Amino acid sequence: MIEHCLRADGCGMVYDSELVSEPDFSLGDYSWWRDRGSLLGNTSGRGTVYFVAADQGQWALRHYRRGGLVGRWFDDHFIWLGEDRGRSFHEWRLLARLRDMGLPVPRPVAAIYQRNGLAYTAELATVRIAGAKPLSQRINDGEVDASHWRVLGRCIRRFHDAGSYHADLTGHNILLDENGDMHLLDFDRGDIRAGGAWKASNLKRLHRSLRKISVPDGNIDVSEADWRSLIDAYRA
């Protein structure tokens, strides 16, 4: 992975030159891909992720949006605190660092911002993980068994041992691929930290999320036995 930057007229872009041969600030805009006939579809969670067909393979595009009450008023605008503190640049570089550590996260392609005075908007493009679906969807489709919970427990332990903090560890931000491997995504507001209470908080956040996920035909929550399999693997 080779990092390069492009800046012009209030816009900035950091990108992997091994994947982006012709950098353009429109790379993060799904409508630009749609007009080229390269839009493959989308998925919705906290925000919409668009999938596109690039020359180097399929990418996932995310436009940064606010959550909670603030998001009702400002939606996708953030206060400008400098390029290096921009959300897309920070996440792009964090993903690159996590991949260098050998952790299963999407490969970052490009991070883009458009500044307008004291505010900015931002996008992130990553390589789409082939055959992967959110864990929440796999659960609802009845595709998760005891072995997957053990895999997830070991996966989270790897991230925690590396000091990798995830600000929103939920069943929607974990991907399970067709080979049974787990991947974490959406590291917005994540970082690398020393050990501490945040690890337990991470697990509690995930537990709350999983308890809300149920299969459609019986409204059955993820069982405590499933959670125990995850925790046992995490602690092993």
Query: How many Å is the maximal CA-CA distance in the chain?
Result: 55
Q: Which of 24, 76, 168, 221 is catalytic?
A: 168
60 vs 57, 126, 129, 187, 225, CA distance in Å? 10, 5, 9, 14, 34
Instruction: Give all strands of the β-sheet with 174-176 in edge-to-edge order.
Output: 133-134, 174-176, 182-184
The CA angle 223-229-234, to the nearest 5 degrees, is: 130
DSSP 158-217: HHHHTTEE-TT--TTSEEE-TTS-EEE---TT-EE--SSTHHHHHHHHHHHHHHH-EETT
* Residue 16 known to be catalytic: no
Whole-angstrom distance, CA of residue 205 vs CA of residue 227: 13
The residue with tokens 């690890």 is 199
Catalytic residue IDs: 168
